Amino acid sequence: MKTIFILIAFVLEGGFCVAQPLIQVEKQSFVNVGKAGYFWQDTLKTTSFEKVAQLKAEDFSKGRSAIFNGGSSGKVWWMKLRFTENSPTTPYLFIDYANIDTINVFYRDESGRVNQINAGMFNLKENDNILGTGFVFPLKQVKTPVGEVYVRMRAMNTLLVPVKLVTESVLNHGLFKAHSVQPIYIGIALMIVIFHVFMFAVTRSKLFALYIARIILLYFIVMVCYLQGYGLLLGVPIARFILVHAHFFIAVGYLVTILFNSYFLKLKRQLPQLDKFFKALMFGWGLILICSLWDARILTNILTHVLFLFTSLLFLFSSVKVIIVRGYAKNNPLIWCYVLGWIPVAVASIYLVFCLSRFIPFQSYSYNLLSLAGIIEGILISLGLYGQRLRLLTRHNAHFRKQRILLQEQVEGYRKQLDATKEKVHEPLSLKALIELAHSGDPSFMKRFNETEPVFIEKLLQIAPQLLPAELVLCAYIRLNFDTKEIARSCKLSVRAVESRKYRIRKKLGIDSETNVHSWMSAIAKTS
């Protein structure tokens, strides 16, 4: 009995290995069929289609997720799909990912002849038709009743293969539905850029300039043109350039973002130890930047995954530490949006790194996850920046109000002092005695000057209430026709300090540079 069970299990296992899933093209919706595919790694990277077609079913590994992840080390993979289709129907193989270096599609037609279609980013020619942001392959006159298609794929960057096998009507409808949301994301991102450009033009703050650079580099170039393949719409040479130098743009984008986060949170003052750690991360991103220029893509793939995860998590940690724990947003709740903005980025980074590392299977929605996280981050970070500007304006306004109150109190106190001196009857000094008192630097000089010239100071304060007591003393010396050196000697000041005070007095009283200040003071004394 035990032997019978073993034989039955062996037969069943062999049956599962041989019986690959059949995809019914007419009943297939616009979904990825990675789980229905079988994959084989070409370690030699030169194996021909004839040899691959002769491999046994057990030589292939069954697809584990809807989207196949071939790693980031430039390996060559073969994918095998088996399908059935009605004779009047033309099946279409659609690979919804443009960043594959080379794609070679092989299938046999009804006469047994091998058909080969070459595509991929580095196999495109100027007259090739590119459908959306992926590659479409019409499989005409496939051998029936069961057709087989083999796809040879290679990418020096991450090899992700979302593949669909559908009819033409399903393909057209699915493409329209799948890509209709992308213009909405791009439109929102453009509005965020316009907002930051406007704020930079108004405030001239480098924070807005740095965030504009982040959006352009990491969203428009990396996510839209590179990850989603829209760079093909700009032309094949541009798309290839972005593909080859993708890690360069990623590295520059994150260097800019680290500077932005450090300036926003003032990490050098708030968290000096963490600021040093961010400088170490900048060194790491700089290393990726240099390696990307040498086209060392296998090395930069690994470093990018690691630094992408750590940098995103540290952005969230530093914002929580400064804004929440240290109360940076105490007087303006909008700054809390800065913390919330890094949460979707951190979650998406953890998820994507685990997917790319094959700890989690890659799903269809994984592509849009990073775009959605980027849009949410852009909106919330923009609100946080706006809240910070409001906080700074509030602090400046409070400072100016305090200064104005102190100045008003000083002016009122001096006016009361003048009123009190008016009530007292003092015998005025002669001009000669007043000049001698000024030369000696006597503390009672201003009091005796007010007795001699009772309306002069009041007239000056009517013209410029913001004049300070020290400036009024200087006006009194000018009224007595003292030159700059005499004033400096009597008041124990430097000549430069006296000249600076003279300049401020001219500005407050509205005396132009061509008018003699001594003559102007004499004229004021006569009118008073």
156 and 187 co-located in one domain: no
433 and 467 co-located in one domain: yes
| 13-38 per-position pLDDT tens digit | 334 334 568 888 888 888 898 889 99
Residues 6+ apart with CB under 8 A from 179: 132, 133
Is residue 159's pLDDT more than 80? Answer: yes
335 and 426 co-located in one domain: no
Residue pair 227/367 in contact (Cβ under 8 Å)? The answer is yes
pLDDT band per the 50, 70, 90 thresholds, residue 458: confident
Which of 137, 169, 201 is the endpoint of a domain?
169
195 and 165 co-located in one domain: no
The closest alpha carbon to 177, from 166, 193, 188, belongs to 166
Distance of alpha carbon 26 from alpha carbon 305, whole angstroms: 39
Torsion over CA: 133, 118, 108, 37 (sign):
negative
Question: How many distinct structural domains can be found in the chain?
Answer: 3
Among 34-38, 216-220, 372-376, 428-432, the minimum mean pLDDT is found in: 428-432
| Cα separations in angstroms, 438 against 373, 441, 494 | 73, 5, 17
Which of 395, 413, 435 is the endpoint of a domain?
395
The range of the structural domain enclosing residue 489 comes to 422-527
**Domain presence at residue 283:** yes
pTM > 0.75: yes or no:
no
Torsion over CA: 229, 231, 235, 240 (sign):
negative
Mean pLDDT rounded to a whole number for the chain: 82
Residue pair 139/61 in contact (Cβ under 8 Å)? The answer is no
185 and 155 co-located in one domain: no
Parallel/antiparallel/unpaired status of strands 76-84 and 22-24: parallel
153 and 26 co-located in one domain: yes
CA dihedral 95, 99, 102, 107 (to 10 degrees): 0
Is residue 528's pLDDT more than 70? Answer: no
**Domain presence at residue 206:** yes
pLDDT band per the 50, 70, 90 thresholds, residue 282: very high
| 178-193 per-position pLDDT tens digit | 777 778 888 999 999 9
**Domain presence at residue 16:** no
212 and 354 co-located in one domain: yes
| Residue 386, pLDDT score | 86
**Domain presence at residue 103:** yes
Distance of alpha carbon 253 from alpha carbon 148, whole angstroms: 43
Which of 143 and 318 is assigned the larger pLDDT? 318
Share of the chain above pLDDT 70, in %: 89
**Domain presence at residue 325:** yes
The closest alpha carbon to 148, from 46, 58, 22, belongs to 22
**Domain presence at residue 259:** yes
Distance, C-alpha 124 to centroid of its chain: 32
**What letters, b where the CB count within 10 A reaches 16 and e where it falls short, cover 109-141?**
eeeeeeeebebbbbebeeeeebebbbbbbebee
| Residue 20, pLDDT score | 65
188 and 153 co-located in one domain: no
pLDDT band per the 50, 70, 90 thresholds, residue 301: confident
- Three-class SS of residue 67? coil
**Domain presence at residue 333:** yes
| Residue 295, pLDDT score | 66
What's the whole-number mean pLDDT along residues 412-421? Answer: 71
Which of 219 and 465 is assigned the larger pLDDT? 219
194 and 108 co-located in one domain: no
Is residue 160's pLDDT more than 70? Answer: yes
192 and 165 co-located in one domain: no
210 and 68 co-located in one domain: no
Residues 6+ apart with CB under 8 A from 152: 42, 49, 52, 76, 77, 78, 102, 103, 104, 105, 106
Which class for 63: exposed (0-12), middle (13-18), buried (19 or more C-beta within 10 A)?
Answer: buried
CATH for 164: 2.60.40.2380
What's the whole-number mean pLDDT along residues 370-398? Answer: 83
Question: Which of 130-144, 383-397, 496-510 has the highest mean predicted lDDT (pLDDT)?
Answer: 496-510
**Domain presence at residue 10:** no
163 and 186 co-located in one domain: no
CATH for 427: 1.10.10
| Residue 42, pLDDT score | 93
| Residue 260, pLDDT score | 94
Residue pair 279/135 in contact (Cβ under 8 Å)? The answer is no
Q: 10 Å Cβ neighbour count for 431?
A: 11
Share of the chain above pLDDT 90, in %: 22
Which of 356, 378, 395 is the endpoint of a domain?
395
